[in-house]
Amino acid sequence: MDVTPGQYGVCVITDTGSQARSPARPPARKRALALESSQTAKTVGPAGILPMTPSPNQVDAALMSRRSIRAFLPTPVARADIEAILEAASRAPSGTNTQPWKVYVVTGKSLVRLSQALVAAYNDPQRDALYQEEYRYYPHQWVSPYIDRRRKIGWDLYGLLGIEKGDKARMHEQHAQNYRFFGAPVGLFFTIERVMERGSWLDYGMFLQAIMTAARGRGLDTCPQAAFTPFHRVIAEHLGLPAEEQLVCGMSLGFADESALVNTLRTHREPVEQFTRFLD
């Protein structure tokens, strides 16, 4: 395994040369949005800031075409594209420019080994006793409307896949796909130093969204994953995380398998007037 510290707090962990080289462009590339990485490179100024104003269409297309993908093609992602995505995302704002993010990029045999360890941990009958998340993502006590939305996405997903209520074996197997990175060739892990406070977690969300948006600009898709958090010790061991770093979440990155049923899932959003008040 080769761990290369890089710029922007990025470590690339890989075990094969195949991931690091530019692959032949896959068909999904044709669907890439207009803002190609090559154009970006030409137009980015010294501070990494684009001197032009992108059109609302381009920005909205990147934002609105993002969705959580749960089946990827094995097509490798060029290391140059991963770096370009992270470079673009590093323009995300953060309080007093603290840039609290640290990224671990896992590909090749390292990804396979980590995936095997995660699946084994997830299948461990002692799982709930042994593996617990370090921070609570969700509330102790669920209330409406959040619990309703949470249930809806769960049942929509399982319903689409023909998994009936009570079919715990198939639910378990579907959830296990998280630990196989849904077949993606790239796993991203995000950590934060424990000394950082809640504000930096806010910054982190912006960074993560920027990654997912920049990925769209290159015809790539993502799935952000909190499912990794109970297994932070397994991940820390494989990534060689220092004790002062805490796992925030992970993310699968790759080219969507557009033929996969699971990727036909479309999620609902409340209309703007439902969550917004204009005060004149």
Ligand X SMILES: Cc1cc2nc3c(=O)[nH]c(=O)nc-3n(C[C@H](O)[C@H](O)[C@H](O)COP(=O)(O)O)c2cc1C
| Closest to ligand X by CB, 178 or 191 | 178
The verdict on 254 binding ligand X (CB under 6 A) reads: no
Name which of 12 and 223 has its Cβ closer to ligand X. 223
CA dist., res. 187 & res. 8, Å (int): 17
Residues 68-87: x where in contact with ligand X by CB under 6 A, - otherwise, as a string: x-x-----------------
* Site size for ligand X (CB under 6 A): 12
Residue nearest to ligand X (CB): 227
Residue 252 C-beta-side C-alpha neighbours within 13 Å: 26
Dihedral of CA atoms 263, 267, 272, 276 in degrees, nearest 10, equals -120
Interface stretch with ligand X, choices 16-24, 49-57, 113-121, 225-233 (CB under 6 A): 225-233
Return the residues of window 149-168 that contact ligand X according to CB under 6 A. Answer: 153
CB nearer ligand X, residue 67 or residue 170:
67
223 is an interface residue for ligand X by CB under 6 A: yes
> And the tokens for 196?
């950082």
Regarding 61 and contact with ligand X (CB under 6 A), the answer is: no
Pairing outcome for strands 10-14 and 245-254? unpaired
Q: How far is the CB of 37 from ligand X (least distance, A)?
A: 23
Q: How far is CA 124 from CA 119, 131, 133, 167, 231, in A?
A: 9, 10, 16, 19, 12
Q: 143 phi and psi, to 5 degrees?
A: -130, 160
**Residue 79: exposure state from Cβ atoms within 10 A (0-12, 13-18, ≥19):** middle
If the CB atoms of residues 30 and 268 are measured against ligand X, the closer one turns out to be 268
Residue 249 binds ligand X, judged by CB under 6 A: yes
202 binds ligand X (CB under 6 A): no
Q: Shortest gap between Cβ of 192 and ligand X (angstroms)?
A: 13
Give the H/E segment covering residue 235.
helix 232-239
147 is a site residue for ligand X (CB under 6 A): no
Asked whether the beta carbons of 37 and 218 are under 8 A apart, the reply is yes
Q: Per CB under 6 A, does 39 bind ligand X? A: no
List residues binding ligand X (CB under 6 A): 67-68, 70, 153, 178, 223-227, 249, 267
